[in-house]
Structure 1
């Protein structure tokens, strides 16, 4: 049996991160969590099996989610990207090619649908 796609969630709010992780895990995906871009990059360097990064845009640390998205696209081109925010309104054009934006609050089916669309 094929292993499920691995999704990396990057979110600085613990409750939002855990809730999103549970939702994505219940949909049949493997989930890894990171609190910020630096943690996410460390995970990506150790785990070549990451299929998609689901990142918040507003985070403390060395870079926000938008910069992280571009960094991931440049360094790990096959990794898909979904960015989210409750404050910023960005277009898909602000993200690397193929990236998606989901405004918060998002519905479970929106997140799962976007992930399934991007990772198959």
Structure 2
């Protein structure tokens, strides 16, 4: 007889335009015990956030030249979806050079996977899972 396990892994939206870096980030999110959700651009990210009311964390690259500035998207996410936790990364920015949205965390690339996974778990600790919350 088969068992059914309810979905209890938090979906984490990964926004990265570079395919290899996106695959690496998706793998990191999955290995951390979260459900990776993929977005290749800021437009994809906004569409997914509008459709998926269960997403409570965004892991996003600020260096996306083919779309709106990453920091603008992060600010828009904070304003429109206040409960969502935001982790930002960049190779060409520093924490001091960007005006981070409230409660957003920043990590320089190349990222330390253990540090990012620890941040994800810390940010989601104690948040009750609800697949329809929004």
Alignment pair present for 1:112 and 2:130: no
When normalised by structure 2's length, the TM-score is 0.84
CA distance in structure 1 between the aligned counterparts of 2:108 and 2:20, rounded to whole angstroms? 17
More moved, 74-83 vs 1-10: 1-10
The answer for the alignment partner of 1:51 in structure 2 is 56
Encode CA deviations 1:18-50: one digit per residue, 9 max, x unaligned.
011011101110010111110000000000000
1:94 CA drift (Å): 1.6
Q: Which has the larger radius of gyration?
A: 2
Unaligned runs of 5+ in 2: 1-5, 126-134
> Could you tell me whether the CA contact under 8 Å between 1:92 and 1:100 is conserved in 2?
no
Q: 1:113 to 1:96 in 2, by over 3 A?
A: same
Q: Which runs of 4+ in 1 moved over 6 A?
A: none
Q: Does structure 2 retain, via aligned residues, the 8 Å contact 1:91–1:101?
A: no
For this pair of structures, how many residues does the alignment match? Answer: 120
Kindly indicate which of the two structures has a greater share of residues assigned to helix: 1
In the other structure, the counterpart of 1:33 is 38
In the TM superposition, what is the alpha-carbon distance from 1:93 to its structure 2 partner? Answer: 7.3
